[in-house]
Structure 1
C-alpha cells in the first residue's frame, strides 16, 4: 500500500473500550482501514473480535471511544442517518446467514427491496451479483439445496449487491474444505480489484491472511497489539505474535 500519512481512513476505530463487569474485553482498541485495502484482523477466541463488530454495526454500544465511517462518527448519527450509512457497508457473516425460507433470488432481492429499487434494476443487480460468484444457475434454489461453499458464495453476492464501499468479512473460510476456501479467497480478491472495496477481514485462517491481506492487526489483551504485513508479523520473535503463526 502507498504511504498513508496524508490519506484519511474510510473506517477509523479509536480507543474503543467495552467491559462486561470485571471482564475488560476491549481496552482501547484502535484501527484504521484505508480505501482499497484488505485489512485482516486476527485474535484468539474471546479476544473481543465479535464485540468490536457489534459495536461497529450498532448492535452494541461501547463504553467509550469513537467509530468513524467515511468521516462520520456513528455515535452521533440518528437512526435514519445510520441506516443510510449502513448501505455503504456489506457484511459476510460467519455461517453465511441466508434466510432459509427464501430462494437464492429472494435472499439477494431482500436488501434491494428495502432500498425500494425498481423491479428491472433489482433483476439486473441480482443477475450480475450471481455472475460475479459463478452461480447464475442457482437463482431459484433454496438454501437447503446448496453446499456450504455455494452458501458462502451467495452470501458474498448479497454482501456486494449494493456495491458497498466497505465489506466486513467475519470468518469467511470457516467450515469450508481447503479447495473451497481457496475459491472464496480468490473471489474476495476479485471483488477488491473489480469494485475497489475496502475490506475488514476477521479470520483465524493463517492461509487466508497470507493470501488476502495488505496489512494485518493482531488483537491481544483488548488492544491493537501488533500491526504490519503478513511477512513482518510472521517473522516476529515476540512469543504472543508467534502463537498466531505456529502450525
Structure 2
C-alpha cells in the first residue's frame, strides 16, 4: 500500500491513563476513530466512558498518554489550534443542555456568535438556523422556548445546534437516555442520516444496545480501564467471552 492510500484516524487515543486517587479509571485505553465512521463505546456505569470524553475535549487533564485530533496533539496545543478544533468537534450532551432562557432560534445562533472566525459575521442568521432545524425536522419550532419542547424535541434541537457549525466530528454522550423507545429509534435514525449526509465521524457513548446494532460501524467495549474488545456489532455479539456476552443479553 502506498503512503498516499493510507487512511489516518481523525482521532487517535494512545495509552490513556486517568486516576482519581487510588482509583484507576482509564488504565491504558486506546481508540482510533476513522473518517466517516460511527464508533460506539460501551461500558458499565463508572467504567470511564464519560471520563474519556472529558479528556478528549480538554475538560479533564490526562495523567499520561496522548490524544490527537485531526493530527493535533491535545496535550501540547496552541490556543489558536484549540479554537479551530473546537469549531470542528460537535458535542451532544446527555441532557441536551439547551439554554432555558433562550428561544430555539437564540440557542442555535449562540455558537454562530461565538465562532465568527469560521464563518465570519452572519448578518441574517435565519436561513442558517432554519437549515439546521430542517435537518432535524423541526423548523416550525424556531420561536419556541425549551420548556415548550418534549424531551425528544430538545435532543433534536441540541443536535441541530451541534450541526450548525458543520463539524467534522460529533461526540454523542448517551443520545437516547431518558427517551421512550419510539423517540429513541427516531434519534438513532437521525444520527445515521446525519452521518450519511455530512460524512461526519462520530464517537457515540451509549448503553443502548439497539442504538449500537443500528448505527455502529465498529464498537469498543471499555472494561477494566482498557479497550477490552473491538469489532463490529455482529462480531462482538457472537463472542462467547462472559465479559462481552453480558452487553448483548
Which residue is equivalent to 1:233?
A: 236
Q: Alignment partner of 1:204: what SS?
A: coil
Q: SS where residue 219 of structure 2 aligns?
A: strand
Please tell me whether residue 91 in structure 1 is matched to residue 88 in structure 2.
no
Equivalent residue number for residue 153 of structure 2: 150
Distance in 1 between the 2:80 and 2:227 partners? 31
- Counterpart secondary structure, 1:14: strand
The equivalent of 2:21 in structure 1 is 21
- Alignment size in residue pairs: 242
Q: Residue 183 in 1 paired to residue 182 in 2?
A: no
How far 1:6 sits from its partner (Å)? 2.4
Matches within 5 A, 1:109-188: 109-116=109-116, 117-120=120-123, 122-188=125-191
Bigger CA drift: 171-180 or 111-120? Answer: 111-120
Alpha-carbon shift at residue 121 of structure 1 (Å)? 5.4
| Structure 2 unpaired stretches of 5+ | none
Give unpaired runs (5+ residues) of structure 1.
none
| Aligned equivalent of 1:12 | 12
Question: In structure 1, what is the equivalent of residue 220 of structure 2?
Answer: 217
Deviation at 1:119, TM superposition (A): 3.2
Superposed CA offset, 1:116-141 (max 9, x none) = 34334532221100000011110011
For 1:67, the equivalent position in structure 2 comes to 67
SS across alignment from 2:125:
helix
Q: Deviations over 1:174-224 (max 9, x none)?
A: 000111011101110110011000010000000000000000000000000
Distance 1:238 1:31 in 2: 21
Q: Which SS does the other structure have where 1:201 is aligned?
A: strand
Q: CA deviation at 1:31?
A: 0.4
Distance 2:201 2:81 in 1: 21
Runs of 4+ in structure 1 over 3 Å off: none
TM-score under structure 1 length normalisation: 0.96
Q: What's the C-alpha RMSD, in Å, of the aligned pairs?
A: 1.1
Which residue is 1:52 aligned to?
52
Counterpart in the other structure of 2:248? 245
Helix, strand or coil at the partner of 1:169: strand
CA distance in 2: counterparts of 1:86 and 1:49, whole angstroms: 20
* TM-score normalized by the length of structure 2: 0.95
Q: Which residue of 1 aligns with 2:209?
A: 206
1:100 pairs with 2:100: yes
Deviates more, 1:99-108 or 1:79-88: 79-88
Structure 1 counterpart SS, 2:75? helix
Q: State the SS of the aligned residue for 1:107.
A: helix
Aligned-partner Cα distance in 2 for 1:89–1:124: 22
168-177 or 113-122, which moves further after superposition? 113-122
